[in-house]
Amino acid sequence: RRLAAFHGRHQSGVLGDPLPAATIVAFDLATSTRPDLEELLRTLTTTLRALTTGGVAADPGITTTAGTGLLGPDGPTHALESVVALGHRVFTDTFGLAGAKPRRLRAMDTFPNDQLDPAWCGGDVLITLQAHDRDVVTNALREVCRATRGSMQIRWKQDGFTSAPRPTGHPRNLLGFKDGIAGPDPRDDKQMGSLVWADGGEPAWAAGGSYYVMRRIRMLVEFWDRVSTSEQERMFGRRKDTGAPLTGGGEGSTPDYGNDPNGSAIPLDSHIRMANPRTPATAASQFLRRSYSYDAGVDSVGNLDMGLMFGAFNADLDRQFVAVQKRLADEPLVDYITPVGGGYFFALPGVRNTKDFYGSTLL
């Protein structure tokens, strides 16, 4: 178990591995003045700081469980991690922030294979909470809602899950494949500097932040479960059992496209080869993936309603996520997955110390 440090140049929730229990919640602002926005961001800071560091959120005097929180005085040792991000509509004249917008931030693009439901799209504030225990996440969300009532309202919410990394490697998504293998290493400051943290082209306040893409992608699992393993493997370009690239080696091996120019081992239209052909020109389009499985029950015709909350942190939205998503257009996997929601957000720089708050450089 790790206890997340709350303070730093970056939000710690960006850097940590996905934890088993998560919730991803988009809120709409109910405030329209800059002082109210600042108060909201200060409240979010004190609430999440307390919850992340094992304390309880300040009691606004409306419950009888003052000072103990929903989990009681003997609650678990908290290992809550959070990411707070803003949507493009915050950067308007209403708040005097039109000139401060991260230059790529906008409403999420609609891509060719999308079937977006507006009720599952957008939002002004995106908060991702994750912990080892589901009750810690649920409690934290209720504390956030209680503290910010009147300032913002939930627009959509999806709980997510994964399993903790094991000696056998990365956890699997709901198509049964190990997920989150390739990409920049969060412990490598150089890679994070060029691929994850907003770069010099952005307004100065944004330094230390990151474009946060969230996509709710439904998986047609009944259909997928009738496909042979070898065909599934050719769609991804990796083995289902070990996660190794189909050119050989183990989970951590690099796909060997040089010795497979025609795609006889890893098909040219496989997910990993289209997403990252590993040419010098496409190296700069890699980003940090942070995804969770979701299970939303059963749809109206009795099919399992489940999929992936695909998360990605990018230094430059267009150079990275958008370029990769365009490369993936019409990949064979599109018959088995359907993006139904999500949004583009900007994960704020970290809160530096006990006096600092989310967005202090912006306001």
Closer to ligand HEM by Cβ: residue 63 or 303: 303
- Using DSSP's 3-state secondary structure scheme, residue 22 falls into strand
Among 45, 158, 276, 314, binds ligand HEM (CB under 6 A): 276
Q: Does 257 bind ligand HEM (CB under 6 A)?
A: no
Q: Do the Cβ atoms of 292 and 79 come closer than 8 Å? A: no
The correct pick among 315, 324, 340, 362 for binding ligand HEM (CB under 6 A) is 324
Total residues at the site for ligand HEM (CB under 6 A)? 25
Residue 52 near residue 4, CB atoms below 8 Å:
yes
Stretch that binds ligand HEM, among 62-70, 137-145, 214-222, 343-351 (CB under 6 A): 214-222
CB of 307 to ligand HEM, least distance (A): 6
Residue 210 touching ligand HEM (CB under 6 A): no
| Residue with token string 């591995």 | 17
Strand bridging mode 125-131 / 337-347: unpaired
Q: Which of 217, 288, 340, 347 binds ligand HEM (CB under 6 A)?
A: 217
Can you spell out the DSSP letters for 170-202? SPB-TTSSB-S-SS--TT-HHHHHHHTS--TTS
- Report the alpha-carbon angle 336-212-48, nearest 5: 120
By C-beta, is 82 or 291 nearer to ligand HEM? 291
Among 180, 267, 342, 343, binds ligand HEM (CB under 6 A): 180
The correct pick among 85, 97, 175, 266 for binding ligand HEM (CB under 6 A) is 175
Q: Which stretch binds ligand HEM (CB under 6 A): 122-130, 227-235, 302-310, 343-351?
A: 302-310
Cα 124 to its chain centre, rounded Å, is 15
CB under 6 A: which stretch of 39-47, 79-87, 88-96, 170-178 binds ligand HEM? 170-178
* Dihedral angle computed from the Cα positions of residues 56, 60, 65 and 71, in that order, rounded to the nearest 10 degrees: -30
Do the Cβ atoms of 37 and 95 come closer than 8 Å?
yes
* Cα torsion through 276, 278, 281, 287, rounded to 10: 50
Closest CB to ligand HEM among 78 and 238?
238
Strand partners, 304: 298
Strands 125-131 and 292-298 come out as: unpaired
Binder of ligand HEM out of 56, 325, 341, 350 (CB under 6 A) = 325
* Cα 156 versus chain centre, distance: 15
The residue within the footprint of ligand HEM, chosen from 91, 95, 120, 177 (CB under 6 A), is 177
Judge whether 221 and 337 are in contact, CB under 8 Å. Answer: no
Question: Considering the rule CB under 6 A, would residue 24 count as an interface residue with ligand HEM?
Answer: no
Residue of 70, 328, 334, 363 that binds ligand HEM (CB under 6 A): 328
Please state at what angle helix 134-148 crosses helix 34-52, rounded to 10 degrees: 150
- Comparison of 31 and 173: residue with beta carbon closer to ligand HEM: 173
Contact predicate 157/260, CB 8 Å: no
* Nearest to ligand HEM of 23, 173 (CB atom): 173
Q: How far is the CB of 147 from ligand HEM (least distance, A)?
A: 33
Residues 6+ apart with CB under 8 A from 176: 232, 240
**In the complex, least distance from residue 237 CB atom to ligand HEM, rounded to whole angstroms:** 7
Q: Is 275 in the site for ligand HEM (CB under 6 A)?
A: yes
Interface residues with ligand HEM (CB under 6 A) are 173, 175, 177-182, 215, 217, 219, 236, 238, 271-272, 275-276, 307-308, 310, 321, 324-325, 328, 337
